[in-house]
Structure 1
Amino acid sequence: MLSQQTEALKVSATEIKEWLVSYLADLLEIEPEQINVETTFARYGLDSSVAVVLTGDLADWLGKELELRVVWDYPTIASLSQHLSDESIAV
């Protein structure tokens, strides 16, 4: 369990950003280059059910629990990535 928590500490904002870009590109069936990290998730058509799945998948990848509303509190890839990396460092 400790190794998973330690692993979570090493995830950078850039790595989270890349994961989210890839995730959204797959979900929307577009090229990653078409994803703008400053565009809101809502603009990409994410509704609450998709946001819940995304949050769960992201939490699994990070190895830690996330509040379901995190996607709405940090509504862009850039802001969410930065928030999550700051949280990881602060743990």
Structure 2
Amino acid sequence: MNQEKIENWLIDKLAKSSGVDSEKIDLEKSIFAYGLDSSVALSITGELETLLDLKLDSTLFWECLKISDLVEYLVDELAKK
């Protein structure tokens, strides 16, 4: 999965989870800027693990503060596989 597909997947997931229009999701903001809580962050982390076949830390969204940083991290992790 490439960077664009990961970004689109995350935007879609955040839009559905937060009720914010997908065009208004800013990759330079934290997912928490959209009113999501830690349980949603953990759920999305689990879905990303399955989708990307990666083992991800449960603190991922707190370590990658911006969505763009998260995407970059995921792309780098996929490249290491």
Counterpart for residue 51 of structure 1: 41
One-letter amino acid of the structure 1 residue matched with residue 38 of structure 2: S
The CA deviation at 1:67 is 0.9
Structure label with greater radius of gyration: 1
- 1:34 is aligned, of 24, 28, 33, to 24
* TM-score, normalised via structure 2 length: 0.89
> Given that residues 37 and 77 in structure 1 are in contact (C-alpha distance below 8 angstroms), is that contact kept between their aligned partners in structure 2?
yes
One-letter amino acid of the structure 2 residue matched with residue 31 of structure 1: D
Structure 2, unpaired ranges of 5+: none
* TM-score, normalised via structure 1 length: 0.81
Higher RCO structure, 1 or 2 (CA under 8 Å, sep 6+): 1
> Given that residues 22 and 32 in structure 1 are in contact (C-alpha distance below 8 angstroms), is that contact kept between their aligned partners in structure 2?
yes
Give the 5 Å matches for 1:3-82.
11-82=1-72
> Given that residues 52 and 78 in structure 2 are in contact (C-alpha distance below 8 angstroms), is that contact kept between their aligned partners in structure 1?
no
The root-mean-square deviation of aligned C-alpha atoms, in Å, is: 1.2
- For 1:13-38, what per-residue CA distance to the aligned partner results, in whole angstroms no more than 9, with x for missing partners? 22111110000001112221010111
The CA deviation at 1:64 is 2.0
Question: Take 1:23 and 1:76, find their aligned partners in 2: how far apart are those partners?
Answer: 15
Question: Take 1:89 and 1:72, find their aligned partners in 2: how far apart are those partners?
Answer: 22
Structure 1, unpaired ranges of 5+: 1-10
Question: Take 2:32 and 2:12, find their aligned partners in 1: how far apart are those partners?
Answer: 17
Question: Take 2:32 and 2:17, find their aligned partners in 1: how far apart are those partners?
Answer: 14
Runs ≥4 in structure 1, deviation > 6 angstroms? none
Question: Aligned pair count?
Answer: 81
